[in-house]
Chain A
């Protein structure tokens, strides 16, 4: 059982470059999320999706885009990378909200540095 798989684990980007962070889950979860975590700060929600074809902005969406063409995959696109996007990015998934005590399952994270 792979759970939530994120790639790459590490990446260094130059200012202005673009990249896609990949996220895939094999648990048939409907909900998927992208968070960023900066030192000393809590996890901040970037985008989330409640199912294939449906995405919505979180707290800090500027500079990012997402798509959800399948239940399994939820890639995060960074356009025109900026130093402020240096962070650790976590993808997470969860089952339908109808489950009483669902928690999020997190991927192992992508450590991104923009120079």
Chain B
């Protein structure tokens, strides 16, 4: 079956760095996504990894290790507006669709304090 685990909540200080981990077990891995979701709003796409290594996008970076079933999202120079839930999602070829639909983790609620 499929399983995605990420911490439920995290707290960090403005200006600091925070790392949100995600571990997964899927039968047909075909890419990993990170989404940001502010309270009461829709998820918005942050990053995508399909090969091992680090992808950097401004203050946000995402890392993938397929052999370990592990990813992390790194947020640098935290700002108050980064307070949101961060959703890890895995595309699984065996979950329908031609390339696989996304399976979402429960999300990590990040609170940024002054």
Contacts and interface: CB of A to CB of B under 8 A. Distances in A.
B104 A43 contact: yes
Contacts, number: 57
A68 to B, nearest CB: 14
A104 B102 contact: yes
Contacts of B35: 103
Interface string B25-52: 0000001010100000111110010100
Nearest to A98: B99
B114 interface: no
B45 A42 contact: no
A84 B33 CA distance: 29
A90 B37 CA distance: 12
A75 interface: no
Interface string B77-114: 00000000001010000011111011111110000000
Given A48-B96, A56-B96, A103-B33, A42 B43 contact: no
Contacts of B4: 42
Contact of A58 (B41, B87, B101, B106): B101
Given A42-B105, A42-B107, 18 more contacts: A31-B97, A40-B8, A41-B106, A42-B87, A45-B96, A45-B101, A58-B96, A90-B42, A97-B98, A100-B50, A101-B31, A101-B50, A103-B48, A104-B33, A104-B45, A104-B102, A106-B43, A109-B42
Interface of A: 31, 33, 35, 40-45, 48, 50, 56, 58, 90, 97, 100-101, 103-109
